[in-house]
Amino acid sequence: MRTGIPSVAYVGRDETVDDARGSFEAPSAASCGGGAVSSDPWGRVDETGTVYVRTADGEQVVGSWQAGSPEEALAYFERKYEGLVVEIGLLEKRVKTTDLSSKDAQTAIGHLREQVEAHHAVGDLDALRARLDKLVEQVDARREERKAQRAKQSDEARRSKEALVAEAEELAQSDQWRAAGERLRALVDTWKGLPRLDRKSDDELWHRFSHARSAFSKRRKQHFAQLDAQREDARQAKERLVAEAESLSNSTDWGPTAARYRDLMAEWKAVGRAQREHEEDLWNRFRGAQDVFFAARSSVFAERDAEQSE
């Protein structure tokens, strides 16, 4: 005979046995029938010490009591019943106020139902069955509610990720390298904060998103590689212009040399910019060579003017 009832935790005996009763009207002691040594509305003990509990389906044997008086037998099994009342009340509270999973809740309900069906307690067992049935309904309803919430969250996440993919694919064609690059990095952070979808859908969207980022990075890399090549070509061209300018700086062939410097300046402007670290140095050398020539020419012309004015 089972004598122990597992307990999850104690939450207070706010709920009494009377709270659980009511599935059917308790029979009076007068209607208990013969052979009862001791009886109450929910159970009796016969002359052999057998303890019975009354249910809607009739009397059920609880067990045999030989260790004391019939009254003590009923009191003992009524305490067993009160323990079940407490445990069911606790589970009801957990289902209502915590995030207890449906699986764990159903396991706990099944454990308590086994104890109720074992008839090792005296009290309104039918009321306890009804409460457990109601708990099953509540757990099922909450499971469906959570399922609907997850479906809603999944739909929202899908729409958000599809929007991110669409924007990333648009940015992949942009030539606003800095702004587009910063925006793509922000999109990655946003993506990481969204819930995962089912594996297939999430993988498909991530593939498109990643492909868009890779396409942009590839175009940006090609652009700057081409730009670097152009600047290297410009550097080499300006090196040649500087070398020629410096070779002409001591020329006294004033007219043709001045004309050539004008041509060199036009070529300089047409070449485009070299790398930043070279551009300023090349310009200073180019300009310096011209300054030497034109300063010398100005000096000679000033002397001629002075001689002619005497």
pLDDT at residue 32 is higher than 60: no
Mean pLDDT of 40-52: 92
Are residues 92 and 159 both part of a single domain? no
Are residues 114 and 26 both part of a single domain? yes
Task: Choose the final residue of a domain: 224, 252, 272.
Answer: 224
Are residues 42 and 142 both part of a single domain? yes
* CB 137, CB 80: distance < 8 Å: no
Residue 36: the pLDDT is: 53
Mean pLDDT of 277-306: 92
Q: What is the pLDDT of residues 165-211, one digit of tens each?
A: 999 999 999 999 999 999 999 999 999 999 999 999 999 999 999 99
Domain around 296: 228-309
Are residues 157 and 137 both part of a single domain? no
Residue 250 lies in a domain: yes
Residue 285 lies in a domain: yes
Return the half-sphere exposure (C-beta side, CA atoms, 13 A cut-off) of residue 121.
Answer: 24
Task: Choose the final residue of a domain: 146, 173, 206.
Answer: 146
Question: What pLDDT band is residue 308 in, cutting at 50, 70 and 90?
Answer: confident
Residue 6 lies in a domain: no
Count CB atoms within 10 A of the CB of residue 265: 15
Mean pLDDT of 292-296: 94
pTM of the model: 0.56
Residue/partner pairs of 27-32 with CB below 8 Å, 24 or more apart: 27/54
Residue 4 lies in a domain: no
Are residues 199 and 259 both part of a single domain? no
Task: Choose the final residue of a domain: 95, 130, 146.
Answer: 146
| E runs forming strands in the chain | 36-40, 43-46, 50-55, 58-64
Residue/partner pairs of 151-159 with CB below 8 Å, 24 or more apart: 153/195, 154/195, 154/197, 154/198, 157/194, 157/195, 157/196, 157/197, 158/197, 158/201, 158/205
Rg (CA), the chain: 48
Are residues 28 and 129 both part of a single domain? yes
Exposure string of 98-116, with b = 16+ CB inside 10 Å and e = fewer, is eebeeeebeebbeebbebb
Are residues 218 and 242 both part of a single domain? no
Residue 304 lies in a domain: yes
Are residues 75 and 134 both part of a single domain? yes
Mean pLDDT of 245-264: 94
Residue 263 lies in a domain: yes
Are residues 23 and 107 both part of a single domain? yes
Residue 8 lies in a domain: no
Are residues 25 and 127 both part of a single domain? yes
pLDDT at residue 33 is higher than 90: no
Are residues 112 and 184 both part of a single domain? no
Greatest Cα pair distance, the chain, in angstroms, is 161
With 0-12 CB in 10 A as exposed, 13-18 as middle and 19+ as buried, what is 96? exposed
Are residues 61 and 142 both part of a single domain? yes
Q: In total, how many domains does the chain have?
A: 3
CA distance 82 to 240: 103
Residue 9 lies in a domain: no
